[in-house]
Amino acid sequence: MSKLLLVFTLAFATVSTLAVASADDHAEMKKEHAAAHKQHDRWASEHAKMRVEHMRALAAIARLQAHIYEHEAELVEHDEEIRDHEDHTMHHGEEIAAHEKSGDATDHEKLEKEHADFAASHAAMAKKHEEVQASHEKLHTLLEQLIVMVKGIK
């Protein structure tokens, strides 16, 4: 019976030792899990901040794109004003030629008034062109800076 008691005692001691070792292992595993969970939370938080930055950057790009479209619309409008003004210039030239043939004084007064209107319209168009040009230069400078910055992104 003493052999049996010895075997039983050794077996119990081994199981007890394994239980203590397992408890130590489990504690270490739990500690690693907690550290990993904390790291995952930090990563998720960092990703959320990155996504917010991306959304704000895309919103800024959308505003820039809208500004470019608005500038394009200004160019189209100004082109139409130029065409109308050029058409008026051609008709005014034809009226001058007709007046030179007739020599009528009332026609001359009418031509002078039309020419004064033409000159005022031309001055307003020149001012508008300067504004469009300045807007374009500002926009183009910003776009060039953006292009340089984007080239550095990988």
Q: Give pTM, 2 decimals.
A: 0.64
When comparing pLDDT for 152 and 131, which is higher? 131
Domain limits at 9? Answer: 2-151
pLDDT at 35: 96
pLDDT at 46: 98
Handedness of CA 20, 21, 26, 29 (dihedral sign): positive
Cα separation, 141 vs 136, whole angstroms = 8
CB 135 within 8 A of CB 74: yes
- Asked if residue 24 has pLDDT above 90, the reply is no
When comparing pLDDT for 17 and 51, which is higher? 51
pLDDT at 4: 63
Instruction: Give me the percent of the chain exceeding a pLDDT of 90.
Output: 55
- Asked if residue 5 has pLDDT above 70, the reply is no
Rg (CA), the chain: 42
Task: Categorize the per-residue pLDDT at 8 as very low, low, confident or very high, splitting at 50, 70 and 90.
Answer: low
Q: Looking at the 3D structure of the chain, how many domains does it have?
A: 1
